[in-house]
Amino acid sequence: MNGEVTCPVCQSTAYAQADYALNRVFYECPVCGRFQLCAHGSTGIDENRLASYLFYHCFSHKGNTEYRYHTLLNKDICDEYRTAFDNGDITHGRPVHMDAEIVGAWYPKTFSERVDHILLYLSEHMAHMGQFISFNYQESLSLMFIDRKENIPKAIPFVDTLEKRRSREDYGNELKYMLNWLSEDSYVEHHFGTTEDTYLKLRLTPKGYSRVDELQKYRASGRNVLVAMKFGDDTKTLREAIREGIRKADYQAVFIDEVQHNEFITPELLKYIRDSKFVVVDLTHQNNGAYFEEGYAMGLGKPVIQLCKKDIKLHFDIAQKNTIMWETEADIPERLCNRIKATID
Ligand SMILES: [Zn+2]
C-alpha cells in the first residue's frame, strides 16, 4: 500500500506509506494534509466530520519542511514522540493527537457556526483584500462541510464502501445551497471555475470582512460574558452599571443587542452563551428571554450571577439562588465585581 492511493477521507489522489507491524498508515493528501490512521479497524471518528477537520487543520509542506501530522495515537505516545523530536530524533515526526471528542468539539453545531468557520478560513487564507481563492472539487466539499457519506454512524470502518457515498449531484446540490446562503447574506461572492482544479472561486465581500472582524474580536479575548436583561431606554443606566462591574473584574460584557440586530433567541445568541465563561442575568424586569438564557446557561453548567432590584419578587425556582439585590444602579459595579472575583476567578 505504499505510493499513490485514494485518500480514504476525501477521495483525492494521495500518497500513503504503511507500517503493518504497527497497524498504521501515514497519508499525505493535497486536501487533508499529513495524517495517520490505523491500517485496519475503525477510526472511531465520524468520517464526514474528519474530512472537514483535516482540511481546516491541514499540515502540509507549502514550501517548508513539515514534521507535524494528525494521528489517532494516544496522547502519551504523542508526547513521547514530540519530546524525542524536540531533542533531535525526528524518526516519528511531530504527532498531533486527534480523536472523536476533539473532532466533535470542533465541528460546527449549527448552520451559522458553519458559516463562521468558512468566513474565518477565507480571511486567513487570503493574501490580499478582495482576492478570489480557488478550491478544487474535494477542497470545496471539505470547506463547506458537505457530507461525503450518506449516513453518519459513529464509527465507520475504513473499508471503502462505494454504495455509501452520496452521488455527485447530491453533493452539488448541498454545495449550491450553502453558497446561495452565503451569497444571499452578502458575505461572499462566488463563481464556478472551468476545471476540476479551480472548481470554485470565493472571496469575502466588505460585509464578510466586517463579520470576520467581529468574530475575531470576540474570539480573541476569551473573557466575554453574556449579559441577559431587558434592553431599552429605561434600562440604559442599569446596562452601564453592569458593564462597569464586569469591566472592573477584568472581563468584557456582551449585550446581544450590540452584536446582533434583534433580541430574539437565535443560534447565534446560544453560541455567545456557550462561549461565555459565565453569564450575568438581571431579573428586575421579569423578562422571559433573560429567564430562558439563564436556564440555557445553567443547563450547560455555566456559572450564572443573578442580579435583581430590591423588593422585586423573583420566580420561586430561582429565588433560592444567591442573588445580588441592588437598591440603586450605583450599588452594582462594586458588588458585581466582588461577586465575580469571589465565585469565578
Ligand atoms: Zn484527503
Which residues of the chain are modeled with pLDDT < 50? 152-154, 161-163, 220
The answer to whether 190 and 236 have CB atoms below 8 angstroms apart is no
Closest CA to 54 of 79, 76, 38, 71: 71
Looking at the domain that runs over 222-343, which CATH code has it been given?
Answer: 3.40.50.450
Compute, in angstroms, the gap from residue 199 CA to the centroid of ligand 1. 16
Residue 154 has what pLDDT?
A: 47
Closest CA to 183 of 214, 216, 207: 207
The answer to whether 127 and 101 have CB atoms below 8 angstroms apart is no
Residue 50 has what pLDDT?
A: 95
Compute, in angstroms, the gap from residue 215 CA to the centroid of ligand 1. 28
Compute, in angstroms, the gap from residue 332 CA to the centroid of ligand 1. 54
Residue 222 has what pLDDT?
A: 64
Give the Cα separation of 204 and 191 in Å (integer).
12
DSSP-assigned beta bridge partners for residue 311:
none
Residue 223 has what pLDDT?
A: 78
3-state secondary structure the chain: CCEEEECCCCCCEEEEEEEHHHCEEEEEECCCEEEEEECCCECCCCHHHHHHHHHHCCCCCCCCCCCEEEECCCHHHHHHHHHHHHCCCCCCCEEEECCHHHHHHHCCCCHHHHHHHHHHHHHHCCCCCCCCEEECHHHHHHHCCCCCECCCCCCCECCCCHHHECCHHHHHHHHHHHHHHHHHCCCEEEEECCCCCCCEEEEECHHHHHHHHHHHHHHHHCCEEEEECCCCHHHHHHHHHHHHHHHHCCCEEEEHHHHCCCCCCCHHHHHHHHHCCCEEEECCCCCHHHHHHHHHHHHCCCCEEEEEECCCCCCHHHHCCCEEEECCHHHHHHHHHHHHHHHCC
Residue 205 has what pLDDT?
A: 93
The answer to whether 21 and 175 have CB atoms below 8 angstroms apart is no
Residue 316 has what pLDDT?
A: 63
Q: Is 111-209 in CATH node 1.10.10?
A: yes
Compute, in angstroms, the gap from residue 49 CA to the centroid of ligand 1. 12
Compute, in angstroms, the gap from residue 139 CA to the centroid of ligand 1. 9
pLDDT digit string, tens, across residues 189-201: 999 888 888 999 9
Which residues neighbour 226 within 8 Å (Cβ) at sequence distance 6 or greater? Answer: 254, 256, 272, 273, 276, 279, 280, 293, 297
Compute, in angstroms, the gap from residue 25 CA to the centroid of ligand 1. 13
Compute, in angstroms, the gap from residue 51 CA to the centroid of ligand 1. 7
Compute, in angstroms, the gap from residue 272 CA to the centroid of ligand 1. 32
> What residue spans in the chain does CATH classification 1.10.10 cover?
111-209
Closest CA to 41 of 160, 161, 157: 157
- State percent of the chain over pLDDT 90: 37
Residue 152 has what pLDDT?
A: 45
- CB neighbour class for 340 (10 Å; exposed up to 12, middle 13-18, buried from 19): buried
Compute, in angstroms, the gap from residue 338 CA to the centroid of ligand 1. 51
Compute, in angstroms, the gap from residue 172 CA to the centroid of ligand 1. 18
Compute, in angstroms, the gap from residue 197 CA to the centroid of ligand 1. 15
Compute, in angstroms, the gap from residue 27 CA to the centroid of ligand 1. 8
> What residue spans in the chain does CATH classification 3.40.50.450 cover?
222-343
Residue 160 has what pLDDT?
A: 52
Residue 170 has what pLDDT?
A: 84
